[in-house]
């Protein structure tokens, strides 16, 4: 991963520690039009938040988008993580 990826990956545990903050950061990250790998993390975070606090249909949309972006980034590890979240 590239520079700054540690910060992006920190969003995943943050969604459980401080869900509102993680959601805000994920949305801000998407507003910056990140590379597919980082966008995958942001969509996964939003999907987890929606699954736990919001709309399941919207959660599935974000998680599927996260999976697609991980595949586009050619990151099998990222794709596996998203698939685990999908169940």
pLDDT computed for residue 17 by the predictor: 96
Contact assessment for residue 54 and residue 39, using Cβ atoms and an 8 Å cutoff: no
Q: What backbone torsions phi and psi does residue 63 show, to the nearest 5 degrees?
A: -70, -40
Q: What is the mean pLDDT of residues 11-24?
A: 96
pTM of this structure: 0.91
Confidence of residue 2 (pLDDT cuts 50, 70, 90): very low
72 pLDDT higher than 50: yes
52 pLDDT higher than 50: yes
């Amino acid at each position: 991963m590239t520079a700054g990826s540690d910060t992006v990956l920190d969003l995943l545990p943050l969604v459980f520690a401080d869900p509102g903050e993680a959601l805000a950061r994920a949305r801000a990250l998407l507003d910056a039009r990140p590379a597919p790998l980082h966008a995958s993390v942001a969509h996964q975070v939003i999907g987890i938040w929606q699954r736990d606090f919001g709309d399941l249909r919207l959660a599935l949309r974000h998680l599927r988008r996260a999976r697609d972006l991980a595949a586009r980034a050619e990151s099998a590890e990222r794709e596996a993580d998203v698939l685990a979240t999908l169940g």
